[in-house]
Each structure stands twice: as C-alpha cells, then as structure tokens.
Amino acid sequence: MEQLEIQLYQLIITTCQYKQNSVERQQGLTKIVRMICKSGKLWKDNSPYYEDALQKTWLYFCRNLCEANTGERYDPNRSSVITWLNAYLRRRLQDFRVEEYETLAQTASFQTTEVDEAVDATDVLVAPPDIPPILEMTITWAKTDFDGELRRVHIQGHPKVNCQVLILQRLPPETSWEKLSEEYRISISTLTSFYRRQCISRLRKFGESQGYL
C-alpha cells in the first residue's frame, strides 16, 4: 500500500469515529476530499456532464463513507477509497451518456416541440434530512451570494436565468436539463453551455477557497 493510501486510510478511520454532522466529522471529510483532489488520481475526462457526475460522486462519498445511507458503505478491505470513488464516478458518467443517447433518440423520433411527459427518476428524489457538509456550505454560498455576482451573470436576454438560479437547480437533487429547458423556454444546449462556461468556474473557485479542490 502506497503512502497516500495509508494516509487516507488512517484519516478515514479517524473521521468515521466521530458522530454524523459533528464538526470533527465535517473537518475530516473536508481533509479527505482535499487529499484526493490534490492526488491527481481522481478519474477525469472531457465529458460535458463530468462536473454533474462529480457532484453526484462527492455526495455519495459523504453519505456512504462511514455509514450506508444511500448505498453500500465503503469497505477498505475491498479497495482504496480512490478506486471506490472512481468506480462510482465512471458509472455516473455512463448514466449520463445513456441519458444523452435516449434524449437524442427521442428527438429524432418525434418531430414536435411537445415536452416529453415521462418523469426522470432523478426528478422525484427527495433530499435526505442530513445534508453533507460540502453540499450544505455550497448551497449557503449560492443562496447568500454576498457580492451579487451569481445574480448578475445571466444568459443573454434572460436576466432571470442566472448563475445563482442554475447552480441551485443543479445541486443534488438536481433538476433535469429537460425540465429547466421547458421552464425557461431555452434550449438544453444553451443552458448547458452557459453552465459550463460561467457557473462551473465559479463553483470551482468557491471549492478552492474552502479547500475542497
């Protein structure tokens, strides 16, 4: 076992000894996230939905590292924590690819502007009462928007569709792009392009300022 894995293993053992939602647990989770991000070993690719898949992965990490809340609890005897996260991240990326393929197939099959009435499973997910610390802090940051920057940066011609709105809508449990497109009457490509160019960079800057990245 290499040095990084040993350090992460020891930190995980220590972190999971603290109670859920305790300051000590939150600090431990933050340290683990920082170490994993700095290691450069987290799976990366250029998929347009990579950041969305990564958000899901960190949420899964916070909920299931120490206890089995939404999935199987992490087992250090089976794999390193980075291998565990990479496997989950790749599965989520595959889910997005399948979803994209199905969307394209539906578009090709139906030459109509009617919105598909099929409800995506993710649209009916209810946020659990225990919000992971990383997500909770991100939501607070976006809602507060102290300097008003998130509200100022918006899609051209649509002042109400700004970074604050989209970031909050896309944080877990995220609103689907199809539903947002229907609500704001803006194409999915325009929404996702704006989100990648304007919102993700600000999310990343916040994450770096908190030591998550």
Per residue in 71-92, pLDDT tens? 889 999 899 999 999 999 988 8
* pLDDT-derived band at 140, boundaries 50, 70, 90: confident
- Structure token pair of residue 69: 């809340």
pLDDT band at residue 187 under the 50/70/90 scheme: very high
Amino acid, single-letter form, for residue 89: L
Please report which helix (H) or strand (E) contains residue 154, including its range: strand 154-155
Domain range for 168 is 3-209
Asked if residues 52 and 174 have their Cβ atoms less than 8 Å apart, the reply is yes
**Residue 89 CB partners (closer than 8 Å, separation 6+):** 42, 43, 53, 54, 57
Of residues 162 and 171, more confidently modeled: 162
* pLDDT confidence bin for 178, thresholds 50/70/90: very high
Residue owning tokens 């225990």 = 130
Please check whether residue 84 is in contact with residue 35, taking contact to mean a CB–CB distance below 8 angstroms: no
- Residue 108 confidence (pLDDT) above 70: no
Higher pLDDT, 133 or 46: 46
Q: Give CA–CA dist 133/131, Å, rounded.
A: 6
pLDDT at 192 over 80: yes
As a whole number, mean pLDDT of residues 38-43 equals 90
Question: In this predicted structure, what is the pLDDT of residue 211?
Answer: 67
Q: Which residue has the higher pLDDT, 174 or 85?
A: 85
Number of domains in the chain: 1
162 pLDDT above the threshold of 90:
yes
Residues 7-32 have pLDDT tens digits of 999 999 999 999 988 889 989 998 99
